[in-house]
Amino acid sequence: MSEEFTFRGKTMEELEKMNLNQFADLLDARGRRKIKRGLKDNEKKILKDLEEKDTARTHERTMIVVPSMVGKTVEVYNGQEFVPVEIQEEMLGHYLGEFAKTRKRVQHSAPGLGATRSSQHVPLK
């Protein structure tokens, strides 16, 4: 039997009944401050879009994941493309940008133009 998910001692049902300011009290200082100062217009638009439909596209990487977003898909811009992010319970309190990486893994191959003789050595595999 799987254990029921809780966030800071609250179940998902309790979290969904809370308003945004009550949820903010459960967050860390940075998230609490961000929500208490008020969401930006773009962030309010994301929440409104997710109420109407199950997906939303955004450039707003600093949006905090709130309980009303759980189970929905948010396409977050990573600087090149929109990365679909399926919001899960474990993501509560995190920023959307954490789930859409902006950098690729470096894969080195041959030395580039202007490389010195000593740095041109590529070991055999």
What is the structure's pLDDT at 107? 84
Q: How do the domains of the chain map onto residue ranges?
A: 6-101
User: Could you report the per-residue pLDDT of 9-42, keeping only the tens digit for each?
Assistant: 999 999 999 999 999 999 999 999 999 999 999 9
Q: Greater confidence, 124 or 70?
A: 70
Residue 56: what pLDDT? 95
Q: Which CATH superfamily is domain 6-101 in?
A: Ribosomal protein S19/S15 (3.30.860.10)
Three-class DSSP labels, the chain: CCCCCEECCEEHHHHHHCCHHHHHCCCCHHHHHHHHCCCCHHHHHHHHHHHHCCEEEECCCCCECCHHHCCCEEEEECCCCEEEEECCHHHCCCEHHHHCCCCCCCCCCCCCCCCCCHHHCCCCC
Q: What is the pTM of this model?
A: 0.81
pLDDT tens digits for 24-33?
Answer: 999 999 999 9
